[in-house]
Amino acid sequence: MPRGQPARVGRAAEWVAVRVEVPAAIADAVANFLLERGAAGIVTDDASARARIEAHVARGDESTLVHDLRRYLDSLAAMDAAWACGDVEVEPVPPVDWDAIFKTHHRPQPIGDRLLVAPPWDVPESRGREILIIEPGMAFGTGQHATTRTCLEEIEAAVAETSPRSALDVGTGSGVLAAACARLGVERVVALDLDPAVLPLARATFLNNEVPHVMLLGGPIAAVRGTFDLVVANLLADTLVREADALTATVAPTGHLVVSGILDDQTARVAAAFRGWRIAAERAENRWRTLRLVCERN
């Protein structure tokens, strides 16, 4: 079975694979020897009595490594004839375009009836949908995760049903949820995050999606003034429970609160934390849940 992987490097680097077949009994010793001699990565397939080992080294370093490896294998065979190994093979490793591989994992995604999330290098024409251009990076919220998708679906549904004039995105990350609110026609949108490192990324998202009027704030929920017709919080369940009172305080009397980042077995605990609120809608994808809450007085 595979027991390691070649080092991931950019397309400009050149690598050589050094391969040898050895008895499974000495596979670990040979693999450790190669690592100690500077191999950047090891793949070991030891599914049978003989193991095939492949070491990746930078081009130019293979001659010394092969020389040392052959001497080491000869010394093992001298101790026990059963440890005799096959010949050492050397072969260039085809260059790998990791950027291209990365991009294959970030493709345009239609979400709901009106939204489409796309990376900047692959923005399709999509009539009838609001396109959200998101640069995959440090901040959470590229459309890849179930919580982001179900939040976007619930935002779309809330906008269609209630026509909110204001929205707050708590824990904005990449800014995708706030941008969606703005693109769907919400007039006043505020995005909030505790992490100062993500604020420039969210601001770039707002500019790329032509919603520069979204107000971006750094700090806790207490930094927000006023209430909103729609509040969205894609956080972790423990944070939702801890901040339940602060979150509900930001929702207008007839407003809606969308909460996500909840595993199915955490739903009851999260719902119980929002005393006086009921679940008006629920979306599920895999083990994740997104809830839309309204005050029971409404």
Residues of the chain with CATH 3.40.50.150: 105-295
Q: Which residue has the tokens 């982001």?
A: 148
Query: Which range has the worst mean pLDDT, 40-49, 95-104, 150-159?
Result: 95-104
Rounded-to-integer distance, Cα 110 and Cα 76, Å: 59
Residue 15 pLDDT grade (very low, low, confident, very high; cuts 50, 70, 90): confident
Nearest to 170 by CA among 181, 183, 161: 181
Rounded-to-integer distance, Cα 49 and Cα 18, Å: 20
Q: Which residue has the tokens 């339940």?
A: 244
Residue 233: predicted pLDDT:
98
Rounded-to-integer distance, Cα 145 and Cα 263, Å: 13
Residue 7 has pLDDT above 60, yes or no: no
Rounded-to-integer distance, Cα 76 and Cα 83, Å: 6
Residue 9 pLDDT grade (very low, low, confident, very high; cuts 50, 70, 90): very low
- What number of other Cβ atoms are within 10 A of residue 83's Cβ? 17
CA within 13 Å, CB half, 164: 30
Q: In whole angstroms, how large is the CA radius of gyration of the chain?
A: 27
Residue 272: predicted pLDDT:
97
Q: Are 234 and 149 in contact (CB under 8 A)?
A: no
Average pLDDT over residues 68-73: 93
Residue 282 pLDDT grade (very low, low, confident, very high; cuts 50, 70, 90): very high
Nearest to 236 by CA among 163, 130, 147: 147
Residue 188: predicted pLDDT:
98
Which one has a higher pLDDT value, 9 or 176?
Answer: 176
Residues of the chain with CATH 3.30.70.120: 15-98
Residue 10 pLDDT grade (very low, low, confident, very high; cuts 50, 70, 90): very low
CATH superfamily of 105-295: Vaccinia Virus protein VP39 (3.40.50.150)
Residue 4 pLDDT grade (very low, low, confident, very high; cuts 50, 70, 90): very low
- What is the domain class of 15-98 according to CATH? alpha beta
Residue 162 has pLDDT above 50, yes or no: yes
Residue 13 pLDDT grade (very low, low, confident, very high; cuts 50, 70, 90): low
